[in-house]
């Protein structure tokens, strides 16, 4: 078990998350201007609306069930055209909150998943869900898209983190944000287990309200 700086103990004046600094000038410059704005330092409170196609394997459904006590970050459903809203805002302590509202079929209330990205060691990020499941992430540019890829998982317990063996996780998580022009971008998430292959896949198009108003 390793010590992790607690978000609760961070000073209100903590520096905002700076994705550009983590990427470096050359990689950041290869991203479209719209992507640079969406991931700029000191992100303004913005809500993106779109639809998602959700898929998971039988093993993925097991992980979904087991993580319900951790805020249910992985919906174990298969469905097309799921309405979704994603609110992105600063937590005022150096982190950026991603709050996802998924309107899953057959459910009256939206399924809400909330996670916070904050600077990690070196050029890495830490992303923690509301229930304490967390990942250490690399962030990089690939073919004009912004990509986040997990290095390892752990449970955040107060100011400590408990590593989770890779075989007991849904697998390597890869999230891609790709601008499609005309105020649209594609979000794609995949998780691939080292033994059992793909456990989760989510992809969909979202509208940028900033560009809609331009």
Q: pLDDT band for 12, please (50, 70, 90 cuts).
A: very low
pLDDT at 67: 84
Determine contact, residues 117/95, Cβ cutoff 8 Å.
yes
6 occurs within a structural domain: no
pLDDT in tens, 54-74: 999 999 999 999 888 777 788
Indicate if the alpha-carbon torsion angle 109, 51, 46, 214 is positive or negative: negative
- Whether residue 52 lies inside any domain: the answer is yes
Look at residue 8 and tell me if it is in a domain.
no
Closest CA to 201 of 209, 193, 211: 193
At 8 the pLDDT is 42
- For residue 1, is it within any domain? no
State the CATH number of the domain containing residue 61. 2.40.128.20
Query: What is the number of domains present in the chain?
Result: 1
How many residues are given for the chain?
214
């Amino acid at each position: 078990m390793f010590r992790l700086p607690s978000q609760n103990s961070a000073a209100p004046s903590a520096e905002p998350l700076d994705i550009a600094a983590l990427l470096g000038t050359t990689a950041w410059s290869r991203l479209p201007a719209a992507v640079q704005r969406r991931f700029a330092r000191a992100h303004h409170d913005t809500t993106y609306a779109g639809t998602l196609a959700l898929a998971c394997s039988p093993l993925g459904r097991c992980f979904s069930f087991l993580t319900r006590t951790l805020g249910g970050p992985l919906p174990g459903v298969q469905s097309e055209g799921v309405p979704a809203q994603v609110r992105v805002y600063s937590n005022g302590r150096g982190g950026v909150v991603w709050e996802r509202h998924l309107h899953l079929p057959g459910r009256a209330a939206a399924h809400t998943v909330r996670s916070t990205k904050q600077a990690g060691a070196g050029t890495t990020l830490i992303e923690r869900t509301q229930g304490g499941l967390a990942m250490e992430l690399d962030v990089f540019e690939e073919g004009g898209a912004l990509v986040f890829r997990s290095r390892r998982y752990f449970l955040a317990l107060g100011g400590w983190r408990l590593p989770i063996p890779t075989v007991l996780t849904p697998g390597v998580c890869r999230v891609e944000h790709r601008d499609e022009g005309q105020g649209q971008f594609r979000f794609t998430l995949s998780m691939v287990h080292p033994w059992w292959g793909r456990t989760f896949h989510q992809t969909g198009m979202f509208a940028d309200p900033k560009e809609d108003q331009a």
